[in-house]
C-alpha cells in the first residue's frame, strides 16, 4: 500500500489576503488527517509574494493542537539562516506539544532573494559552508541529552525525526553519511536528477541507531479533479505562474477562469507542452496510477504530494479524491518514526 503525505507551501491567491493562506494551511491539515495522510509538511520561504509561509515552526504549533494523529513537519527549515541549537529547542517544544509526531526537515537553500537572506543572517554569504556540521549538531541536540556540553530543552521520551531535504546530490550524500531519512524535491525540476540522488543515498547509506535502513521519499506536484478537463483548468494557475517565474515575475496565484479567458500565446503553449506532458494532472484514478508508477520505479512506499489551486476547495477536493483512490484509511500509522529518542 502506498502511503501519501502532503507538502503545503501556503500559497497566496489573487483576490484574497496572504493571511488567509496561513489559516487555510491549518484547516487543510485537519482535513488531511481525517483523510488518512501520514504527514503534513510546511515549507519556509522569505520575501516571496507566492509562497508566504515564513515560519513553519509556528504553523506546526497551530496544527499540533488541532490534530491528534498525523505527523507534522517542516519541509523545511532553511538551516543556514539560524542557530542549530535554537532550531533544536523549537522542535523539542513542538515534540512536547505533539509527542511522537514531529518531523524536522532541513534544507540549505536561501528560499528567497539574497537581500532577504542577508537580513535573516548577516553572514549568509558563507552560512551554507557550515550546513553539514549544522545538520550533525541538530541531529545530536534533538536526539541525546547533551551535545558539546549543552542540552536542548525540553527533554521528553520522544525526539523529532530529522530529515534532509534536497534536489541535488549534496543532500543525498549528507543524509546517507549521517544515517538520516531523505526527501527529494521532485517538483522543483519535474524529477530531473532523482534517479542519481536516490541511488547515491541508498548506496552510500551508513546505518544509524534510529534509522538502521535508508528511508527515502519524493515530493511531487499533483492535482486531481472529477474530470481531466476540470483538473487541467485548475492547473492553469500554476501554468501561468511557471511562465511568469521564468520571466522573473512573481506574484500570487491567479484565477483559472481569468487565465482561460485570456489564453496563452503560441510561444507560451510551446513552453508549456513538455511541462504538461510530465504533470500529474487528471482524474483521481489517473493521478493515483501515476503516483503508483513513480513509487514502483523509484522503490518508494511513501510519496509527498504538493498541490496548488487558486480555489482552496479544488485543492481540498484533490486531496480527498486521491485519498479515496489510494484507499487511505485515516487510522493512526505506527512505525519507526514514533520510536523514542536515543
Cα–Cα distance for residue pair 271/79, rounded to 1 Å: 34
**Residues contacting 82, CB < 8 A, separation 6+:** 121
For residue 342, the model assigns a pLDDT of 32
- Reading the block at residue 137, the C-alpha cell is 549538531
pLDDT in tens, 97-154: 999 999 999 999 875 678 888 888 877 777 788 999 999 999 999 987 789 999 999 9
- The single residue listed with the C-alpha cell 531523505 is 182
Comparing CA positions, the residue from 89, 229, 219 lying closest to residue 159 is: 89
Asked whether the predicted pLDDT for residue 29 surpasses 80, the reply is: yes
Comparing CA positions, the residue from 294, 278, 269 lying closest to residue 217 is: 294
**Residues contacting 273, CB < 8 A, separation 6+:** none
Comparing CA positions, the residue from 100, 126, 104 lying closest to residue 60 is: 104
Q: What is the DSSP letter of 122?
A: T
pLDDT in tens, 206-223: 999 999 999 999 999 999
Cα–Cα distance for residue pair 200/216, rounded to 1 Å: 11
Global confidence as pTM: 0.93
For residue 295, the model assigns a pLDDT of 98
**Residues contacting 262, CB < 8 A, separation 6+:** none
Comparing CA positions, the residue from 221, 182, 141 lying closest to residue 299 is: 182
For residue 330, the model assigns a pLDDT of 55
Domain residue spans of the chain: 3-222+280-338
> CA dihedral defined by 319, 215, 89, 43, rounded to 10 degrees?
-30
SS3 10: coil
> May I ask the CATH architecture of the domain 3-222+280-338?
Alpha-Beta Barrel (3.20)
Q: What's the half-sphere exposure (Cβ side, CA atoms, 13 Å) at 313?
A: 3
Asked whether the predicted pLDDT for residue 173 surpasses 90, the reply is: yes
For residue 317, the model assigns a pLDDT of 98
SS3 195: helix
Asked whether the predicted pLDDT for residue 174 surpasses 80, the reply is: yes
What string of DSSP letters covers 200-239?
HHHHH----SS-SS--EEEEEEEEEESSHHHHHHHHHHHH
Q: What is the DSSP letter of 178?
A: H
Residue 58: pLDDT band (50, 70, 90) is very high
Q: What's the half-sphere exposure (Cβ side, CA atoms, 13 Å) at 217?
A: 26
Asked whether the predicted pLDDT for residue 199 surpasses 50, the reply is: yes
Residues in the chain: 342
Q: Are 167 and 193 in contact (CB under 8 A)?
A: yes
Cis before 162 (ω within 30): no
**Rounded to 5°, angle at Cα 241 from 237 and 246:** 155
Mean pLDDT of the chain: 93
For residue 333, the model assigns a pLDDT of 43
- The single residue listed with the C-alpha cell 523514542 is 340
- Reading the block at residue 83, the C-alpha cell is 542557530
Torsion sign (Cα): 326, 53, 108, 71 = negative
For residue 339, the model assigns a pLDDT of 38
- Reading the block at residue 185, the C-alpha cell is 524535491
Q: How far is CA 323 from CA 37, 127, 307, in A?
A: 7, 40, 13
Residue 266: pLDDT band (50, 70, 90) is very high
Q: What is the DSSP letter of 13?
A: B
Amino acid at each position: 500500500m502506498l502511503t501519501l503525505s502532503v507538502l503545503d507551501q501556503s500559497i497566496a491567491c489573487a483576490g484574497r489576503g496572504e493571511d488567509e493562506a496561513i489559516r487555510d494551511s491549518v484547516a487543510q491539515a485537519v482535513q488531511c488527517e481525517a483523510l488518512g495522510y501520514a504527514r503534513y509538511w510546511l515549507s519556509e520561504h522569505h520575501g516571496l509574494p507566492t509562497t508566504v509561509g515564513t515560519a513553519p515552526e509556528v504553523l506546526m504549533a497551530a496544527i499540533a493542537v488541532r490534530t491528534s494523529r498525523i505527523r507534522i513537519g517542516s519541509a523545511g527549515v532553511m538551516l543556514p539562516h539560524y542557530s542549530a541549537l535554537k532550531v533544536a529547542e523549537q522542535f523539542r517544544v513542538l515534540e512536547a506539544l505533539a509527542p511522537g509526531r514531529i518531523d524536522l526537515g532541513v534544507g540549505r537553500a536561501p528560499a528567497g532573494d539574497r537581500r532577504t537572506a542577508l537580513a535573516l543572517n548577516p553572514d549568509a554569504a558563507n552560512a551554507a559552508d557550515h550546513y553539514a556540521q549544522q545538520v550533525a549538531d541538530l541531529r545530536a541536540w534533538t536526539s541525546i541529552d547533551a551535545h558539546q556540553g549543552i542540552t536542548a530543552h525540553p527533554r521528553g521520551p520522544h525526539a523529532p525525526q530529522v530529515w534532509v531535504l534536497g534536489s541535488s546530490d549534496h543532500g543525498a550524500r549528507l543524509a546517507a553519511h549521517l544515517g538520516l531519512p531523505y526527501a527529494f524535491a521532485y517538483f522543483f525540476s519535474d524529477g530531473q536528477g532523482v534517479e542519481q540522488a536516490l541511488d547515491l543515498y541508498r548506496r552510500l547509506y551508513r546505518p544509524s541507531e534510529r534509522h538502521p535502513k535508508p528511508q527515502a521519499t519524493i515530493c511531487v506536484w499533483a492535482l486531481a479533479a472529477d474530470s481531466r478537463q476540470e483538473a487541467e483548468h485548475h492547473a492553469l494557475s500554476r501554468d501561468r505562474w511557471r511562465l511568469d517565474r521564468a520571466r522573473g515575475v512573481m506574484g500570487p496565484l491567479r484565477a483559472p477562469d481569468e487565465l482561460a479567458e485570456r489564453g496563452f500565446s503560441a510561444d507560451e503553449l510551446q513552453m508549456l507542452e513538455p511541462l504538461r506532458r510530465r504533470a500529474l494532472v487528471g482524474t483521481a484514478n489517473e493521478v493515483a496510477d501515476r503516483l503508483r508508477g513513480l513509487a514502483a520505479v523509484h522503490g518508494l512506499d511513501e510519496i509527498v504530494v504538493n498541490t496548488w489551486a487558486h480555489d482552496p476547495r479544488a485543492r481540498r477536493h484533490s486531496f480527498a479524491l486521491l485519498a479515496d483512490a489510494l484507499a487511505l484509511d485515516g487510522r493512526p500509522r505506527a512505525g519507526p518514526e514514533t520510536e523514542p529518542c536515543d
